[in-house]
Amino acid sequence: MKKVYLNTAVNISAQDTFDQEGFLNETKELSGKTITANYPNYKHYITPANLRRMAEAVKMGVTAATQALKNMAITQPDAIITGTGMGCIDDTEKFLNAIISNSEQFLTPTSFIQSTHNTVGAQIALNLKCKAYNNTYSQASVSFEWALMDAQVLLQQGEAENVLVGGYEELGKEIVTYRRMMEDADSLGIQVPFGEGATFFIVSSEKTENSIELMDIEVWSKISTTSIQDNIMRFLEKNTLQLSEIDALIVGRNGDVFDHYYNLTADLFENITQLHYKHLSGEFYTASSFGLWTAYEILSRQEIPKALIFKGETKSNKHTILLYNQFKGRDHSFILLKR
Amino acid sequence: MGVAITGMGIISAIGHSVEENKTSLLASKSGIGNLRHILTNHSQAIKVGEVLLSNAELTRQLHLPEIHNYTRTGLLGLVAATAALENSNISDCSTYRTGFISSTTVGGMDMTEQYIKQFATDVTTQKYIATHHAGDSTQKIADTLGINGLVTTISTACSSAANAIMLGERLIKAGKLDRVVVGGTDSLSKFTINGFKTLMIQSDALCAPFDAHRKGLNLGEAAAYLVLESDTVVQKEKKDVLAYLSGYGNANDAFHQTASSDNGEGAFLAMQKALEIANLNPDQIDYINAHGTATPNNDLSESIALKRVFGDQMPDFSSTKSFTGHTLAAAGAIEAVFSILALQEQYLFPNLNFNTPMPETGLKPITSGIKKEIRHVLSNSFGFGGNCSTLIFSKA
């Protein structure tokens, strides 16, 4: 089976991450109920006419995707695969509210047309005139992981060489406030703001200078707290890795009661360097793609920004990273990256 | 030969089981009529393929507690997915590595659109805040089926279920799964009714796919799932195979966010890829279950793509959306079940309401049921965003 590599990673988030020079050297502390992303200058990527029409998810997605392709000088990827938990929620809410406030009259199609989950993948294909395989996943906190796994299968089976893979989420205006309201009413609820962002990767079977190997990825719909340690152990065994060979553990802590899963995982290791990121990105269904971006950057740059450290010391050599994310005890993902 | 299909389940406007759907298809009995369950200003101006059962009736049939937070999308999906497993004689999903791949366009919109303005104040509606996203119905169905591992939802508009079925086969071939339940579910909603209304592609009469005077589509709601199993499982469990999924293709039209291209490029590429994977020549296809939504744009673009693939040797084809309406994300799975029924019955289902061939292509779908030897059926599903997918089913 062919090996699978991440060859470039582009991220738009609440932090200053799109500019690829630095790596979380200066970070913004997030507070409040929701946090918008730090939007790049879209004008370099999208025409003014399209900019007026597009919602934030589409703008962020198209921009991050375009930059990722540019980094690898790819004009035609062999597949475009995206993941999003809430989809194009802004246009969805816009169209729904127009229906409600105008009693189903005087509606225009624009926001309906742009409300489907595959809008970002479709726009990217349209811009590139790319007729290749195109797919969109929407499964809560493993939406992005499924896009990545689909790419992994395409590459391993030799059906593609370069796949554009991305996760994106926009805040929207209304449903996010109700979701926040439910969290705030629960003392054990999510403690970081709800956020948004987009991360795109070129995933490839070709090794280049900047390649980081995607050793493996697993997703599980449901794992109990009593079996999480066994699941992690089996995942490492499958990849013939000892616990001691993991140089850093990156988990999706968001301060809610389900962080217990991460504690149990960390307990398996002795003195593991444990990193977290949702205090920097905010929580959203594809926040784990921000996590994967940090892992890619750590391995390429051999540098761990202080802001990511949850516990432990920084090792001098960083070869192998394990990522683990879940949302309210559901939709778990394990990813192994190797330099 | 592809991966074996060992079970199927369906609920649509023409029946609540595979048997009922088959009976309606054989009797040329359409399920399209007046809207019952949704309150909308447009109810007089549209015809729909609605599932007759109300949410309360579905709840009873599924033995769910009276108070639950299933959306209609979830309820329909659970009926069809449970039936698919039963049909495949599977009682325990933990014996093999089993996955669940569903698909939907609007997810929990049917509840969101009713309660969104009450979420802030009415505690009893708040259980639907977390059910809006596409993965909610999938999670609930997977939990009920006892599937805990690879569970996901695909949302590529009206090609969603075809992509879900395709992914199932690819994951079995890649050795990640031994068995997988694949398909899709979508309920009617005010949101989609109004959306298609703004696009002016919804007909106030019964839809007439491929007809020169077609006025647009009828929306529908439905859910359908197939059970796919690896050769090893089929042999070990001595399973009856209903049909094989022998080919699949996914391409993008890359032409327009909602309209299909003049030359049907995306559709053409999807069909070509599927034929290639199935290792079949176009002349080996005995029947095409077309996407055939009955919109002016789709049917012309699809006809041109069909002519590009099949030339003058056009196989018999029909659009069964004249029975069920366009069931959006579920359509690919509904039509997969109908394709398999065609193979089992060796019978072609007609394209209802067709009178006049369109002048651009002169193509004529079959307009009455025909008994015929059928070995390979090709099924098309195309969606907004240029997402085009084709599946090929072959006789067991």
Q: What is the DSSP letter of B265?
A: H
Provide the percentage of residues in chain A whose pLDDT is more than 70: 100
* pLDDT tens sequence across B198-239: 999 999 999 999 999 999 999 999 999 999 999 999 999 999
Residue B134, domain member (yes or no): yes
Least confidently predicted of A41-50, A236-245, A313-322, B349-358: A313-322
Q: How distant, in Å, are the alpha carbons of B78, B92, B160 from that of B149?
A: 18, 14, 21
Q: Which residues of A touch B143 (CB under 8 A)?
A: 221-222
* pLDDT tens sequence across B7-18: 999 999 999 999
Q: Is B388 a catalytic residue?
A: no
Residues B232 and B259 in one domain: no
Average pLDDT over residues A260-286: 97
Residues B284 and B157 in one domain: no
Q: Which residues of A touch B118 (CB under 8 A)?
A: none
pLDDT at residue A315 above 80? no
Does residue B298 belong to the interface with chain A, where contact is any CB pair within 8 Å? no
- Chain A and chain B share a number of CB contacts under 8 A equal to 196
Residue B292, domain member (yes or no): yes
Residue B133, domain member (yes or no): yes
DSSP secondary structure of A307-333: GGEEESPPPS---EEEEEEEETTEEEE
Which residue do the tokens 């579910």 mark?
B185
> Chain-wide mean pLDDT for chain B?
97
Catalytic residue among B158, B207, B376, B388: B158
Q: In total, how many domains does chain B have?
A: 2
Residue B314, domain member (yes or no): yes
What is the structure's pLDDT at A313? 81
Residues B15 and B42 in one domain: yes
ipTM above 0.90, yes or no: yes
Half-sphere exposure of A95 (CA within 13 A, CB side): 27
The pairing of strands B243-252 and B387-395 is antiparallel
Average pLDDT over residues B178-186: 98
Average pLDDT over residues B306-319: 98
Residues B283 and B381 in one domain: yes
Residue B146, domain member (yes or no): yes
Average pLDDT over residues B167-193: 98
Does residue B263 belong to the interface with chain A, where contact is any CB pair within 8 Å? no
What residues does A162 pair with on adjacent strands?
A: A204
Which amino acid appears at position B60 of this protein? R
What is the structure's pLDDT at B341? 98
* pLDDT tens sequence across B71-118: 999 999 999 999 999 999 999 999 999 999 999 999 999 999 999 999
Domain carrying residue B172: 3-237
Q: Is the CB of A95 less than 8 angstroms away from the CB of B171?
A: no
Reported confidence tier of residue B32, pLDDT bands at 50, 70, 90: very high
Q: Enumerate domains of chain A plus CATH numbers.
A: 5-204 (3.40.47.10), 212-338 (3.40.47.10)
Residues B230 and B259 in one domain: no
Residues B217 and B268 in one domain: no
pLDDT at residue B179 above 90? yes
Domain termination residue (choose one: B213, B237, B261): B237
Please, which residues 29-58 of chain B have a Cβ atom closer than 8 Å to chain A? 40-42
pLDDT at residue A271 above 90? no
Q: Which residues of B touch A283 (CB under 8 A)?
A: none
Residues B156 and B268 in one domain: no
* pLDDT tens sequence across A89-105: 999 999 999 999 999 99
* pLDDT tens sequence across A125-154: 999 999 999 999 999 999 999 999 999 999
B315: domain CATH number? 3.40.47.10
Domain termination residue (choose one: B193, B217, B237): B237
Reported confidence tier of residue B1, pLDDT bands at 50, 70, 90: confident
Domain termination residue (choose one: B237, B258, B285): B237
Q: How distant, in Å, are the alpha carbons of A15, A45, A73, A339, B60 from that of A22?
A: 11, 21, 22, 20, 58
* Nearest Cα residue in chain B from A331: B151
Residues B224 and B183 in one domain: yes
Reported confidence tier of residue A20, pLDDT bands at 50, 70, 90: confident
Average pLDDT over residues A29-44: 96
Query: Which one of B126, B139, B155 has the shortest CB-CB distance to A118?
Result: B155
Residue B12, domain member (yes or no): yes
Distance from CA of B86 to the nearest CA of A (A): 22
Residue B243, domain member (yes or no): no
Half-sphere exposure of B162 (CA within 13 A, CB side): 36
Residues B198 and B229 in one domain: yes
Q: Is B187 left (phi over 0), alpha (psi -120 to 50) or beta?
A: beta
pLDDT at residue A314 above 90? no
Does residue B276 belong to the interface with chain A, where contact is any CB pair within 8 Å? no
Residues B315 and B388 in one domain: yes
Residue B242, domain member (yes or no): no
What is the structure's pLDDT at A286? 98
Which of A124, A134, A155, A176 best probes binding to B when mutated, by most B CB atoms within 10 angstroms? Answer: A134
DSSP secondary structure of B221-244: -EEEEEEEE-HHHHHHTTPPP-EE
The Cα–Cα gap between A224 and A218 comes to 16
Please, which residues 301-360 of chain B have a Cβ atom closer than 8 Å to chain A? none
A166 and A61 in contact (C-beta within 8 Å)?
yes
- Which tokens is A175 given? 């449903």
Please, which residues 182-221 of chain B have a Cβ atom closer than 8 Å to chain A? 190-191, 194-195, 197-199
Q: Is the CB of B126 less than 8 angstroms away from the CB of A178?
A: yes
Catalytic residue among B16, B132, B326, B376: B326
For B213, phi and psi rounded to 5 degrees?
-105, 25
Residues B98 and B201 in one domain: yes
Q: Which residues of A touch B185 (CB under 8 A)?
A: none
Q: Is the CB of B155 less than 8 angstroms away from the CB of A137?
A: yes
Residues B364 and B215 in one domain: no
